[in-house]
């Protein structure tokens, strides 16, 4: 750590954010100055803003609370690891909640204007020509959240102290956009807005060596693979009269595969088949069994997430 060269420092004052060009191999540290402050974070591929960090994909791969040793992934069809969380002194981050917005503060609290993460993000990103529509769901650092028994996400207070930090290592050139969360009338930042410190370091060889390998797959597509690689430049949607659909693997064709079960095999099948779901439809129950077995035996990571070579 002490070998890292400092490239940039900035104090994020309450109510503000900052768009930073974070190049591959650089580390962005987001640090508590007083403690108790949530930071929202967006990022985009610096050379193609249509590739951006995707909380949905990230939560599928790493769960609701990404921390040290996990990645921030870009949205399909790119699905590349954009950032690696190299250090996290707290371990309470969130990808459940979207950024807070002006609507929330007007609808729930009656504010005509109030600091909010969407508008702060939009203002910071405007420096690079992005619009308020380009803000996407945020990675919420230091934010303590969970899901209650009714399935609702909740947030609670945090216990971060001055000096706590998260280090994000760029795995590609990105526009990184952290902001001080605007929520002072919620528990998110313990009912106060405090500054945060940003530091950009050059990663050392030791830092880079800590990044696990991620899969490189043909399905990680870029515009050169798109049937329509052109970014639409106007707002109305109009039908393309020359459009002919090319959905992958269609038409879906179903084939019958007869399976002859001995009396013993049939008894085994009946002892485990999911009659609670399939009732007397043995064909559907056997298909379920077949692919459930396949998942148990061959899937290496949860919910179809890519298998990642760990540290």
- Encode 202-226 in three state secondary structure: ECCHHHHHCCCCCCCCCCCCCHHHC
CB of 22: closest distance to another protein in angstroms? 36
Check residue 296 for interaction with another protein (CB under 8 A).
yes
Check residue 304 for interaction with another protein (CB under 8 A).
no
- Which of the 8 DSSP states describes residue 64? S
Spatial distance between the Cα atoms of 35 and 160, rounded to a whole number of angstroms: 5
Nearer to another protein, 126 or 287 (CB): 287
Dihedral pair phi/psi, residue 202, rounded to 5°: -85, 125
Q: Which two tokens stand for residue 193?
A: 């807005």
Check residue 305 for interaction with another protein (CB under 8 A).
no
Beta-carbon count within 10 A of 222 CB: 14
Check residue 280 for interaction with another protein (CB under 8 A).
no
Taking CB under 8 A as the rule, which mask of x and - marks residues 230-249 in contact with another protein? -------------------x
Q: Which two tokens stand for residue 250?
A: 């269609």
Nearer to another protein, 243 or 291 (CB): 291
Give the interface segment with another protein, choosing from 14-22, 55-63, 78-86, 291-299 (CB under 8 A): 291-299
Nearer to another protein, 236 or 248 (CB): 248
CB of 278: closest distance to another protein in angstroms? 12
> Can you tell me which of 185, 272, 275, 307 binds another protein, judged by CB under 8 A?
272
Q: Which two tokens stand for residue 305?
A: 């997430």
Nearer to another protein, 192 or 261 (CB): 261
Nearer to another protein, 126 or 274 (CB): 274
Beta-carbon count within 10 A of 206 CB: 10
CB of 227: closest distance to another protein in angstroms? 21
**Burial call 13-39: b when 16+ CB within 10 Å, e when fewer:** ebbbbbbbebeebbbbbbbbeebbbbb
Nearer to another protein, 256 or 311 (CB): 256
CB of 280: closest distance to another protein in angstroms? 12
Check residue 271 for interaction with another protein (CB under 8 A).
yes
Count of positions on this chain that bind another protein (CB under 8 A):
35
Range 199-218, binding another protein (CB under 8 A) = none
Q: Which residues contact 283 (CB under 8 A, 6 or more apart)?
A: none
Give the relative orientation of helices 282-298 and 263-272 as an angle to the nearest 10 degrees: 80
Spatial distance between the Cα atoms of 26 and 115, rounded to a whole number of angstroms: 30
Q: Which two tokens stand for residue 248?
A: 């992958």
> Can you tell me which of 265, 275, 279, 307 binds another protein, judged by CB under 8 A?
265
**Contacts with another protein, residue ranges (CB under 8 A):** 249, 252-263, 265-266, 268-269, 271-272, 282-284, 286-287, 289-298, 302
């Amino acid at each position: 750590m002490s070998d890292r060269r400092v490239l940039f420092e900035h104090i994020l004052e309450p109510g503000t954010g900052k768009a930073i060009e974070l190049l591959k191999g650089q580390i962005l540290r987001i640090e508590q100055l007083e403690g108790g402050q949530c930071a929202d974070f967006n990022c985009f591929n610096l050379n193609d803003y249509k590739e951006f960090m995707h909380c949905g994909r990230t939560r599928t791969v790493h769960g609701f609370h990404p921390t040290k040793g996990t990645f921030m992934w870009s949205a399909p069809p790119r699905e590349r690891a954009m950032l690696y969380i190299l250090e996290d002194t707290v371990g309470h981050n969130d990808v459940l909640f979207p950024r807070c917005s002006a609507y929330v503060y007007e609808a729930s609290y009656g504010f005509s204007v109030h600091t909010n993460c969407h508008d702060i993000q939009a203002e910071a990103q405007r420096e690079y020509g992005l619009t308020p529509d380009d803000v996407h769901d945020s990675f919420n650092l230091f934010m303590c959240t969970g899901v209650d028994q009714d399935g609702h996400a909740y947030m609670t207070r945090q216990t971060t102290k001055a000096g706590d930090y998260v280090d994000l290592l760029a795995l590609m050139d990105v526009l990184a956009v952290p902001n001080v969360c605007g929520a002072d009338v919620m528990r998110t930042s313990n009912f106060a807005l405090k500054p945060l410190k940003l530091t950009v370091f050059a990663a050392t060889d030791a830092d880079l060596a800590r990044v696990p390998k991620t899969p490189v797959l043909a399905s990680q597509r870029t515009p050169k693979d798109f049937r329509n690689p052109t970014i639409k430049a106007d707002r109305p949607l109009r039908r393309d009269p020359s459009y002919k659909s090319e959905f992958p693997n269609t038409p879906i064709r179903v084939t019958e595969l007869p399976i002859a079960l001995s009396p013993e095999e049939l008894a085994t099948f009946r002892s485990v088949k999911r009659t609670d779901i399939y009732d007397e439809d043995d064909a559907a129950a056997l298909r379920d069994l077949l692919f459930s077995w396949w998942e148990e035996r061959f899937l290496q990571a949860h919910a179809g997430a890519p298998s990642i070579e760990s540290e």
